[in-house]
Structure formats: structure tokens, C-alpha cells
Structure 1
Amino acid sequence: MIHDHRRTESDDPMLIDPDTARALLGGAPWRRYAVLGDSIAQGVGDASAGYRDIGWSDRVAEVLTAANPGVSYLNTGRIGATSGQMLDEQLDRVLEFRPDLVHLSCGGNDLFHQGGDTDRLRANLETAFAALAAIGAQLCTFTVADVWDTGRMAPMRPMRGRMAELNEIVRALAARYDTVLVDFWEHPLRLRPDLMSADLIHFTTSGHAVVATEMIRALATRISAPVRPA
């Protein structure tokens, strides 16, 4: 596999520079940012040469805090967590934190094996979305990217259909709960040859940097959007 060693965090065309990122989130109304879910929420991934070894969620929190001093951050994401475990082990802790901005990414582990129960997954995610929306938090999330067309990903190709199902669930819930959604399914990031970690599941930190940029852009759009009537 050919890696593009010339691309670094300072000249990656998919990234925004730190000053721009802080400017985009300057004046954000949120002061308590929480993330819950699985390893994708946690920000797991192999290090990429030329990029800081930091996950997307920590990057977003870093920018939000730098732009708005006094922001608190909680990430309860855990490797291997299913949606049921997220409800049992993380949701109450996040609700007690009283976030006004909360990101939820979970569900891949429910469907990782053949026969995953999409109805149960949908119900579990709806429970979490509804509980978080009920405290007045702004929700945000993203879909998984369609990375399964490259040769290296061939062993994981059977997952493609199930991850597409997960994305449909996430899109529907995002629309229902006025969620800031970044849709990565067809994002050009998916075509980078060095995107995936050795486990073929998680993005490398170069991918996390792009994910953070897109989340920051999406949140900035919500900051500047007109307030919806209640």
C-alpha cells in the first residue's frame, strides 16, 4: 500500500487551520460538551506521521475550549460498547453532567456480527437521543464512511450493508431530534489509502483530524443559524 508521506497536518487540504477553527466556534453558546458511545466516540485510532496523536472528539473539545474559556468536557466512549451497554453504563453519567452539547456515536458493535438486531439498536439509540434532547442539549452525530471499496478493506466488506443500515437509523433519529449531522458515507476522506488503522475498523489520526474539522464546520453552521421557534 502506498502512503502519502508528504501530507501533514499543516498542509492537509481537508483541514482548517487552528485559528480558523477557533474563530468558527467563537461565541458558541455551549459550555458543557459530552461525548458518549463506542470506540468511534472515544476517538480510537493508529497514529499518523505528521499529525498529532489525538482523536477527533478531543480535537473538537480542544477548539471549543480554546474559543470559549470555561467549557467543560466529558467523554464516556468505550471500546467495544454496544448500544445497550451505552445506555446501562454511560447515559446516566452523561445526564448527570448536564451537557448543553452532546455527541452520540454508537451501534457498530451491535451489528458487527451477522444477525445483529437492528430493531433493538434503533430502540436503544432512540432512548438515548430522546433522553438527551429532553434536557435541552444540542445533539450532534455523524454517519460512518463507506470505506469498503478499497482492496485492503476486502476482509471487512460483509460489514458494508450493515453499516449502511446503521447510517439510515442515525439519519432518521438526527432528523427527528434536530441533530447536527455530518454525513461521511460519501465524503472524499473515505478514499484515502492511509485512512484506516491496522484493525481495519478505526480511522488513523489523520482521519480523526478531518472528522474534527467537519464537526467544527457543522457546529459553526448551527451557531450562526436562526433560532427555531419552539
Structure 2
Amino acid sequence: MASTSTEATDPYCLREGESAALLRGHGWQRFVVLGDSVAEGSCEPTPGYSDQQWADRIATELDAARPGLAYLNLGRSGLRAHEVRGTQLAPALAFGPDLALVVCGGNDAFRSRYDADIVDAELTAMIVALQQADADVITVGMFDVSYSPAVPDALRPGLRERMRLLSARTAKLAERLGTVHVHLTDHPLTADPTLYSIDGRHGSGRSDAIATAETLRRLHSHLAGSAS
């Protein structure tokens, strides 16, 4: 089912001028992204919405608010959490970021033998290392892809349980470690089929537009908290 909205009219997306207001005065100069296909960018185009991927959109808005942003996206499709840490953490640290987005664990949670403790340990190692290098870290509880129309009915309950466990565990980790956490799992539209691609694993242009809006709003809250 196609969305009847466009990005300009969608109440869950950024309004004209909102991004500039949210990011006004930000000091980030070096933005790095670590993760899987969600980080790399694999959303399915949606008529009426930008084709630019989520992480790239964040970088574009940060640069618009403060030109000269250095941006490195290390995300690669298909990686599990331990593979993200093993292949991306070292180059991320070498980049010298002051802002980092870490999004992974979804490929682990797609497996029936998902081990939440192992994923937590991998996420913790990445977050702590980046924070020790003086980077603010963004973590994410993603939209619940078990609602995708492409997911077979027989697989929905197990996938939903694992995806929500990943989200809940990541939220607790974020609270403990003090990350900028973007919680999308319980978004009002998480069960809307227009948020998901036909492959049953990824999002649409609409979901990336909404995720961008929510991420910038959380970054604004972080900036406001830091200034107070």
C-alpha cells in the first residue's frame, strides 16, 4: 500500500526550516557512521519522499547548519554486530569523530539463535571506545520490521519478539552509557506498511525521512541539555 502523503505534507517529517532551527549552533565537525545495511543505506524509494538515505540525510543537515562537516559512512550490508566492531571500529576511531552513529544488531536478531548478551557486549565496546575518543554517540531502536507485509505470517511472532528485545536492550544500554538514543520501535507508524520495503528486511524512503526527523530532534534535545 503506497503512502498518500508526501514528505512536505507528512506530519511525522521535518517541516520547512525545522532542521536549521534544531541544529542551530551545533559544534560537530566530524561525523562517522558504523553499522549494517541500515547504516549504509538501503531504503526503498517512495514517491514524494527524498531518495537520500537516512545517515546521508543526517550528514547533509549537519553540514547545512555548519558547513564543512567531514563525513565517513562505514556501514556495510549483511554484517552482524561482531563484524561491525571487528571491521569498522578501528577506522572509525582513526577518523577522529566528534559524533558517531552506531546501528547494528538487526542481522543478529533476524536469526532464531539471536544472543542479546553478545550483541550488547559488541555495542558496548563500540560505544565506550567512541566516547573515550570524545565522540557523542547516537544509538537507535529501529522500526519493528516484523510488521512488514513481506514477512511471512508464520515468522512474525518470533521476529517481533527478537526485534523488540534488541530495541529494549539497546535502550537500556543507551541509558547506562549516556548516548543520544533515537527510539523508533514504538513510533505511531511502526505498524504502517508504507514504512517497509518489499524485501521484508529494510525500510522505505518514508521511514528514512521519519527517522531523520526523529534523529535531528534528539540531537536538538542533546544540544539543549548540554547548554543548560
Specify if TM > 0.5: yes
Paired residue type of 1:141: T
Residue of structure 1 equivalent to 2:29: 31
Q: Is the 8 A contact 1:195 1:207 kept in 2?
A: yes
Residue in 2 that maps onto 1:109: 107
Query: Could you tell me which residue of structure 2 aligns to residue 9 of structure 1?
Result: 7
Summarize deviations over 1:13-68 as a string: whole Å, max 9, x none.
Answer: 11113421122112101111111011111221110011111111111110000010
Structure 1: 4+ residue segments shifted above 4 A: 149-152
**Distance in 2 separating the partners of 1:33 and 1:206:** 23
Kindly indicate whether the alpha-carbon contact (under 8 Å) linking 2:149 and 2:193 is maintained by their aligned counterparts in 1.
no
> Which of residues 129, 137, 140 in structure 2 aligns to 1:139?
137
- Whether the 8 Å CA contact 1:189–1:207 is kept in 2: the answer is no
Asked if residue 214 in structure 1 is aligned to residue 214 in structure 2, the reply is yes
Aligned residue for 1:27, secondary structure, equals coil
Alignment pair present for 1:71 and 2:50: no
SS in 1 for 2:181: strand
Corresponding residue pairs, total? 226
C-alpha distance in 2, partners of 1:141/1:182? Answer: 6
Partners of 1:155 and 1:106 in 2: CA distance? 25
RMSD in angstroms over aligned alpha carbons?
1.7
State how far apart, in whole Å, the 2-side matches of 1:125 and 1:226 are.
24
Deviation at 1:151, TM superposition (A): 5.7
Name the amino acid aligned to 1:3.
A
Whole-angstrom CA distance in 1 between matches of 2:72 and 2:98: 12
Segment of structure 1 superposing worse, 17-26 or 126-135: 17-26
Q: Secondary structure in 2 aligned to 1:172?
A: helix
Would you say the 8 A contact 1:156–1:200 is kept in 2?
A: no
- Cross-structure match for 1:181: 181
* Structure 1 segment 196-215 matched on structure 2, within 5 A: 196-215=196-215
Determine what percentage of the aligned residue pairs are the same residue: 36
Task: Tell me the residue number matched to 1:195.
Answer: 195
Question: Structure 2: which 5+ residue stretches go unaligned?
Answer: none
User: How far did residue 224 of structure 1 move?
Assistant: 1.2
> 3-state SS of the aligned residue for 1:141?
strand
Letter in 1 for 2:73: N
1:44 aligns with 42
Residue 11 of structure 1 aligns with an amino acid whose one-letter code is T
Question: Is the Cα–Cα contact under 8 Å of residues 133 and 177 in structure 1 kept in the other structure?
Answer: no
1:21 aligns with 2:19: yes
- Higher mean C-alpha displacement, 191-200 vs 84-93: 191-200
TM-score between both structures, scaled by the size of structure 1: 0.92
Query: Counterparts of 2:102 and 2:148 in 1: how far apart (Å)?
Result: 27
Deviations 1:72-112 (A, max 9, x none): 11111111011111111111010001111111001111232
Q: Which amino acid aligns with 1:173?
A: L
Partners of 2:192 and 2:109 lie apart in 1 by 25
Q: CA deviation at 1:202?
A: 0.8
* Structure 2 counterpart of 1:168: 168
